[in-house]
Amino acid sequence: MKIQLNLTIICFLLLSTLSAQETRPIWLDDLPIKSFSEGIPAVLGKTNAAGDPLRIAGTTYPHGVGVNSTSILAFYLNSHAQSFSALVGVDDEGNKTLPHKFYVIGDRKILFESREMKWGDPAQKVEVDLQGIKRLGLLVKINDEGINRTYSNWADAKFVMLGNHLPENMPNTDEKYILTPAPGKAPRINSPKVFGARPGNPFLYTIAATGQAPINYSAKNLPQGLRLDPKTGIITGSVAQKSTHQSILRAKNKFGKATQRLTIKIGDTIALTPPIGWNGWNSWARNIDQEKVIASADAMVKMGLRQHGWTYINIDDAWQGQRGGPFNAIQPNEKFPDFKGMVDYIHSLGLKVGIYSTPMITSYAGYTGGSSNFEKGELPDSIIQNKRAYRYVGKYRFERNDARQMAAWGIDYLKYDWRIEVESAERMSAALQQSGRDIFYSISNSAPFAKVKDWVRLTNSWRTGPDIRDSWHSLYVSAFTLDKWAPYGGPGHWNDPDMMILGNVTTGSPVHPTRLTPDEQYSHVSLFSLLSAPLLIGCPIEQLDAFTLNLLTNDEVIAIDQDPLGKPARLIATENGVQIWLKSLADGSYALGLFNVGDFGQTPQSYFRWDDEQPLNFTLDLTKLGLNEKYQLRDVWRQKDLGGFSGKFQAAIPHHGVVMLKIIAN
């Protein structure tokens, strides 16, 4: 009986082992492939990056994934994969001159490296053993420098997986550590210290203050024509003549009082500090509607963001209906039944409202644009159904119509989106300035650097690169490479690296928590603030967790972004994998960011996260930055004084993390 029982157990164990080792192929294009992409352009399954059949050297492949530019696909296999195979090469519609290299990297080891491949080369075969591999990266490296149509393919690509396992997204489970202390009960004023408006145009400025409610607001030396609501801190009205005023803002509650000087400049220049607020695209994309916009405005107040100076509620693409109304302008679609009422409500909260448009016939999401091939601007169903074919500026243009309608609604911000050319930018710039309202003018995307002087002349901000994705690679390209743009940013005109990729985002795949690690998120907010960049939250505000809310409500970090001098930081040096960014501030002090970028982009392995990265012990020599005196250093994230330093300062910087300091001369 005992022998029979033992044989039964052995047979059961053998069968279990055999079952566990059963394998099945998984085509790469049957996975939700966009969710695995950490590159910038989208990746597509079963087609090339343009949406056409996968084709390498004349051979068409029914399975595979088409990618564009440098492509990063990251998979968590956790030792549940047996192998990976593919045929790789440059797509027949791709660039005909640039060389491509393909890599398969497992747990930091290069398992496959292709030859240099060019257009017309036959596909190269990939076969790698993945037994025991936990983290896998598929990399296509191209030195494209912004060149379009650098298409390449992982054709007939498939995993052989063990049992019922599937590749998973790379885990992002690092501790969400909170550095910034909670605000005190006494008032602190956090709104910008300088504000610009044009003569005679409506004026809206909200005194942002933390502290226990109720807070009573007052102001001294406001210019004639402005009035302050003492309960809300909202300043409205208009000032007739060009002038400059030095006002004193006050906030008082039972725990104390705070004052702040506000310089009001009535003249030709608005946007004297970068805008900070929210944009709806990476939250809701095409599903945006009036209810969600109002919920976002309410959440900005209820979550306390308004108290820290967050101001704009910006509606992106997909609000547009057909032309009509008194100006024959773009009207809202059925998702926005009371557009003017919505705008008025948001203004009553002390917030501002932005919308989206384009000079093209159709927007990127396929809605009515600012031009048409029909005299009255109609957008028939035939165009909507073939929207991609109408992404160009039409024969008839309606900038003045649309700008007048925006002003009538009370719009404060316009995101103007297309592959930018100066003529369209100039027409809308003139229309906005003649509208009778101060409307912040932001052009998007990938503004050509060669035309930067035109963007300074015509707009309030310009997108310096492509649409951002929630990956370190995208953040690095969007922000860590902006030093050449720095001389052109300043009061009235700002370099814009795109929305913030914090919280729950929809960049390239269904809504999901950002793939940036907590350390990378601190770097993200720090560098955007040092760059004097617009700060536009790209996630549903009502879904903010405590960590993300803490990232967005550090008043000392925000003050660096909103500094009245408006001078973007410069990349002073790169030492031992640390980028050193230094920013001059209006009070004579400096803001400094020490970013541990490691060897990112220098090796194939550096494009991926392997879960064995370590902090870097770094010694900063202040004298190399031209800072030769003794200075008081303050950790702005912890809001903590570190003491006096001259010469050298030592810090441990997390991988892809930051140490952010304020440097004050004794």
Q: Which are the catalytic amino acids?
A: 417, 467
Residue 47 burial (C-beta neighbours within 10 Å; 0-12, 13-18, 19+): middle
Sheet holding 203-206, edge to edge: 203-206, 234-237, 226-228
CA pseudo-torsion sign 294, 299, 304, 310:
negative
Residue matched to tokens 């992982």:
154
Cα 507 from chain centre: 9
Residues, the chain, total?
A: 666
Q: What gap in Å lies between CA 300 and CA 312, rounded to an integer?
A: 9
Phi and psi torsions of 204, nearest 5°: -145, 115
- Looking at the DSSP assignment, which residues form a beta bridge with residue 261? 248
> Residue 187: which of 250, 262, 263, 248 has the closest Cα?
250
CB-based contacts of 580, cutoff 8 Å, min separation 6: 571, 572, 573, 574, 592, 593, 594, 595, 620, 625
Distances (CA, A) of 569 to 121, 379, 482, 589: 44, 45, 10, 13
Distances (CA, A) of 225 to 155, 199, 220, 221, 239: 67, 11, 14, 11, 5
- Looking at the DSSP assignment, which residues form a beta bridge with residue 323? 330
> Residue 336: which of 306, 280, 293, 393 has the closest Cα?
293
φ/ψ bin of 299: left (φ > 0), alpha (ψ from -120 to 50), beta (otherwise)? alpha
